[in-house]
Amino acid sequence: MNTQQKLEILADAAKYDASCASSGATRAGNGKGVGHTDGTGICHSYTPDGRCVSLLKILLTNFCTYDCVFCVNRASSDIRRARFTVEEVVSLTLDFYKRNYIEGLFLSSGIIQSPDYTMEQLIQVARSLRLTHHFGGYIHVKAIPGCSGSLIETAGLYADRLSANIELPTQQDLVQLAPEKRSVVIETTMHQIHSRKTEMDEDRRRIRSTPKFAPAGQSTQMVVGATDTTDHEIIHRAASLYSSYRLRRIYYTGFSPYPQADRRLPLAATPLVREHRLYQADWLLRYYGFQAGEITTPDAPDLDLSVDPKTLWARRHPEAFPIDVNAAPRETLLRVPGLGYRNVDRILAIRRYHRLTLEDLRRLRVSVKSISPWIVTADYLPHPSLPPQQPPLQQLSLNLEADPGTISSTLDGQL
Amino acid sequence: MIAPAVTSILIEPRTPEDSGFDLWRNFARNLLLSGTLPDLVDFHDAHDAPSPSLGLLPPNPPAPQIRPHSSKLPHVPKSFLDDAFFAAHHRSPHRWNLLYRLLWKLQRDKNLLHIEVDPWVSEFRSLSRQVRHDLHKMHAFVRFRKVQDRKGEHFIAWHKPAHRILALATPFFAERFAVMRWTILTPDNSVSWNPATRSATFGPGADRSQAPAEDELEHLWQTYYSSIFNPARLNPSVMRSHMPVKYWSTLPEIDLLPSLITRANSRVASMVFTQQATPSAQPFVPTNATLTMLQQALSACQGCSLFHYATQAVTGRGPSTAALMLVGEQPGDKEDLAGEPFVGPAGELLRRACRELDIAPDALYMTNAVKHFKFVQRGKLRIHKNPAQSEVNACRPWLEAEIQALKPKVILCMGATSAKALLGGTFALMRDHGHPVSTRYCDETIATVHPSAILRTGDKAKAQDLYGMMKADLAMAWSRSRRPHVMDVKSESRLSRSSP
């Protein structure tokens, strides 16, 4: 099997991992080998699925002893198998990098022999790139759950980012679909990464020559839609992972069908919009000061696919609106549907010198149509009947179908 | 009343990499000092303006002497200079006038830059943002092609940036590819890097034909690009918004786009089809059946494609009261013809072991993980072929139904195929053989080598070892199945129920 055939198999097997970020670490050029990272992350191409191609994302091998139902590489699947040698991965990375195709390498692997053996193989690639070839580009190495702590400690010295995939939102999901994996083991690995990083970062504050450990932190990924776990559970799980292991990102991947899948899995892909809503909820947790409990309720445990979670929260809390953009504090402005955190910061800077009008918001590329029911500006007050007396959601959508004319006229009045 | 005359100023950079920002800065400083209103000055670019030598534009006014006392020099916030520097690289011919107008206003309102909604500030910021964006895209979309010449490897790229940003982009490539000899050509100008002296040399613009036409690695890159894409998530509009068409001409992967997009839907459909068509014997297996019923039903099984080729399905054989169940891999040539398990050479070896251990083979229940013979035809010979994992999975309902009906005390898996079918994919035969494991099928599931593996071993001594190993495991399984009754009431009732 030549390199091209291997690449075909092992890139194809890696495509279900959503992460492709190359940001968060800075490394100056070392003058001995190619490569530097300036912290911003660069997408060198985009594939027709709209995803960025930033790293050479491959598996070292897609042989795997585990039999996780949701995974295309599971032991019981008939797919073609291949294994790269360490040298092949290293030269492929360098050759692509020198032509400016990629920012670096994202290396993962099926579990062969044991977690420790597999992790050692991944480390060999990273070590060869860094020490033999003085490669300064970005390296993301998958941490194999259950491998020994000392291997994690070594991997973090060469890799910019480590990630252990949580795979499925709950332990019950794992029991059902990934019998060899346990969330305790995965979380132990996450904990090892987190505590080692904290330790090294502390040391570096005292001794400046302490090497950096996984400077771009750790991330994880969970597949959603393969089981019927609710968004409520997923969001709570995400919030607890963020707080326990200080993850940079959680990637949510909507389950998508793949060849030779197990029949226990759904046949249709999870709608992309569900994934999108989960990311919106995730952003609300991290950048907008929302608590997990505010985003979904036990009565409506799933996110609404037709409305974004922030608007939904606003509709449930009419008492909090309207908000005066010229006076409200930052945390209140962040709650306004249609205002992103960057625009909130712009508004805070501008209003020290100038009272904002609707026209000003338009110039900040805010959608005035969607924001106007929730705010007060220098020249504008929302219609008093809005939004508190807005009909409940479902009724509104029903009416829209029944008679678009009447609704649009009321909406005009509101605006 | 006569309108005051508009002063025309020509910004004429001396070198290909110069944006003209410093020239503008000098003129602007002098104009501010002389109190010239923004409406009374008009900047032009040398490459856009009608040539001054044709006499269409008056020559630049003489630069007034800057007075040395700095208190008179105009001050601006640093953020203005930062953004103005980027905006200077924009292709808009009005940028110099805009910069001067803003500079003028800033002298009167120091806080103006904070008010992003001011029309002038907003336009100013958007010029600088567009240049930064173009710069970021240039870092991303430059594609080098390698050539070998007398001096060794040389990486050459041709790129067409939206603005005149080559000089802005150079430090990035200089740091990243400091040890490589590289050249970037653009229509405006070009730059070459010398790794020995660590210095960049700028030159004139170039057209595309001056860059190499191909690179040996591009087909690998295309392979990667088409493999990493998930056809189930097709979303070309997002792709276009991040990777605007204007940059496509130099990207080798773009050639694949039409076929990737048009084939995506059919690829997804075939994925779903293969998933739906995953073979399984489940529809053919009667529920709560006795062994006899199973044996009768088995002949009709078409759960996977193996039934097309085999002579017949081979059922399990043995008393319904057997406490030890032997599970082999699949029928061989002899078994396929006879319709009975373990009657070929491997079965002969197994029977020999039984005799030596004083076990009556008839007291055992023998069956296979896969019920049909799989082979490749070589002339007159039918050569055994390992069943695919999907075929083992498809046949598992039969095995499960047999276990359910027999309720053996001990199951002995012969060989890796049956061991993996019952003990899971992580089971490693040579490591884990001979250890009783409790599974959902049976309290004691043990695995050992398949007798045919012993027959295939060329090395006599090794074959002897393996035979010893099989015999030991068989002896243990047998003795455990006959252990004087730890067998509780539950097991008793199991046995009686399973009798037909």
Average pLDDT over every residue of B81-97: 94
pLDDT at B267 over 50: yes
Residues 358..377 of A with a Cβ closer than 8 Å to B: which? 359-360, 363-364
Preferred mutation among B142, B217, B221 to probe A, highest tally of A CBs within 10 A: B221
Burial string for B472-488 (b: 16+ CB within 10 Å, else e) reads ebbbbbbebbeeeeeee
B215 to A99: CB separation less than 8 angstroms, yes or no: yes
pLDDT at B81 over 90: yes
CA distance B468 to B475: 10
CA distance A390 to A319: 12
**Alpha carbon distances (Å) from A357 to A365, B123, B256:** 13, 18, 48
Return the higher-pLDDT residue of B485 and A18: A18
Cβ distance B414 to B327 under 8 Å? yes
Query: What pLDDT, on a 0 to 100 scale, did the predictor assign at position A233?
Result: 92
Residues 79..98 of A with a Cβ closer than 8 Å to B: which? 92, 95-96, 98
Alpha carbons within 13 A on the beta-carbon side of A245: 26
CA distance B432 to B438: 13
- The band of B487, judged by pLDDT with boundaries at 50, 70 and 90, is very low
Helix, strand, or coil (residue A5):
helix
Q: Which residues of B touch A275 (CB under 8 A)?
A: none
Q: Chain-wide mean pLDDT for chain B?
A: 84
For B221, the closest of A47, A96, A260 (CB atoms) is A96
- The band of A86, judged by pLDDT with boundaries at 50, 70 and 90, is very high
Radius of gyration over every alpha carbon of chain A, rounded to an integer in angstroms = 24
Preferred mutation among A94, A101, A274, A276 to probe B, highest tally of B CBs within 10 A: A101
pLDDT in tens, B36-67: 899 999 998 876 655 444 445 555 665 555 55
For B236, the closest of A48, A96, A268 (CB atoms) is A48
Return the higher-pLDDT residue of A295 and B291: A295
For A43, the closest of B118, B242, B392 (CB atoms) is B242
* B236/A contact by beta carbon, under 8 A: yes
pLDDT at A97 over 80: yes
Domain boundaries, chain A: 3-220+256-263, 309-414
Preferred mutation among A46, A72, A112, A117 to probe B, highest tally of B CBs within 10 A: A46
CA distance B70 to B300: 101
CA distance A79 to A90: 25
Query: What pLDDT, on a 0 to 100 scale, did the predictor assign at position B493?
Result: 41
CA distance A373 to A339: 13
Q: Report the residue of chain A nearest B239, measured CA to CA.
A: A50
The phi and psi torsions of A181 (rounded to 5 degrees) equal -105, 145
CA proximity to A137, closest of A101, A163, A169: A101
pLDDT at B282 over 90: no
Q: For A275-289, A394-408, B236-250, which range has the lowest pLDDT when averaged over its residues?
A: A394-408
pLDDT in tens, A127-177: 999 999 999 999 999 999 999 999 999 999 999 999 999 988 888 888 888
pLDDT in tens, B134-154: 999 999 999 999 999 898 999
Crossing angle, helix A86-98 and helix A115-127, to 10 degrees?
A: 40
Average pLDDT over every residue of A229-257: 90
* A33/B contact by beta carbon, under 8 A: yes
CA distance A199 to A112: 30
Cβ distance B164 to B138 under 8 Å? no
Query: What pLDDT, on a 0 to 100 scale, did the predictor assign at position A31?
Result: 87
* B134/A contact by beta carbon, under 8 A: no
For B243, the closest of A46, A95, A346 (CB atoms) is A46
Please state, as a whole number, how many other Cβ atoms lie within 10 Å of the Cβ of residue B161: 24
Q: Report the residue of chain A nearest B120, measured CA to CA.
A: A363
Q: Which residues of B touch A98 (CB under 8 A)?
A: 144, 146, 155, 177, 180
Q: Strands across the sheet with A218-224, in order?
A: A55-59, A104-108, A138-142, A161-163, A218-224, A249-254
A364 to B117: CB separation less than 8 angstroms, yes or no: yes
Cβ distance A164 to A140 under 8 Å? no
- Name the token pair of B206: 């170039």
* B271/A contact by beta carbon, under 8 A: yes
pLDDT at B3 over 50: yes
pLDDT at B496 over 50: no
Query: What pLDDT, on a 0 to 100 scale, did the predictor assign at position A93?
Result: 96
Radius of gyration over every alpha carbon of chain B, rounded to an integer in angstroms = 41
Q: Chain-wide mean pLDDT for chain A?
A: 87
CATH 3.40.470.10 boundaries in chain B: 282-498
Q: For A261-265, A341-345, B91-95, B384-388, which range has the lowest pLDDT when averaged over its residues?
A: A261-265
CA distance A407 to B154: 66
pLDDT at B389 over 80: no
Return the higher-pLDDT residue of A19 and B78: B78
A36 to B215: CB separation less than 8 angstroms, yes or no: no
Residues 393..422 of B with a Cβ closer than 8 Å to A: which? 393, 420
Q: For A75-79, A100-104, B88-92, B179-183, which range has the lowest pLDDT when averaged over its residues?
A: A75-79
CATH architecture of A3-220+256-263: Alpha-Beta Barrel (3.20)
CA proximity to B385, closest of B429, B440, B341, B331: B331
B234 to A49: CB separation less than 8 angstroms, yes or no: yes
Return the higher-pLDDT residue of B295 and B169: B169
- Polymer length in residues for chain A: 415
**Alpha carbon distances (Å) from A153 to A140, A143, A249:** 14, 10, 21
Question: How close does chain A come to B269, measured CA to CA in Å?
Answer: 10
* B40/A contact by beta carbon, under 8 A: no
Looking at the domain B282-498, which fold is it?
Uracil-DNA Glycosylase, subunit E (3.40.470)
**Alpha carbon distances (Å) from A260 to A77, A167, B425:** 7, 19, 16
Query: What pLDDT, on a 0 to 100 scale, did the predictor assign at position A56?
Result: 95
B390 to A260: CB separation less than 8 angstroms, yes or no: yes
* A263/B contact by beta carbon, under 8 A: yes
Alpha carbons within 13 A on the beta-carbon side of B285: 21
Q: Which residues of B touch A4 (CB under 8 A)?
A: 219-220, 223
Return the percentage of chain B with pLDDT > 90, whole number.
31
CA distance B209 to A322: 61
Query: What pLDDT, on a 0 to 100 scale, did the predictor assign at position B275?
Result: 57
* B370/A contact by beta carbon, under 8 A: no
Beta strands in B55-158, from DSSP E residues, in sequence order: 145-149, 152-158
pLDDT in tens, A156-166: 999 999 999 99
**Dihedral in degrees, nearest 10, Cα atoms B319, B324, B325, B327:** -140
- Name the token pair of A26: 């800075």
Could you tell me the end-to-end alpha-carbon distance of chain B, in angstroms, rounded to an integer?
Answer: 121
pLDDT at A410 over 70: no
CA distance B174 to B335: 72
Query: What pLDDT, on a 0 to 100 scale, did the predictor assign at position B426?
Result: 65
pLDDT at A388 over 60: no
A261 to B278: CB separation less than 8 angstroms, yes or no: yes
Return the higher-pLDDT residue of B288 and B29: B29
Residues 142..161 of A with a Cβ closer than 8 Å to B: which? none
Return the percentage of chain A with pLDDT > 90, whole number.
62
Q: Which residues of A touch B243 (CB under 8 A)?
A: 45-46
Q: For A2-6, B161-165, B208-212, B434-438, which range has the lowest pLDDT when averaged over its residues?
A: B434-438
CA proximity to A351, closest of A364, A335, A369: A364
Does this complex have an ipTM over 0.95? no
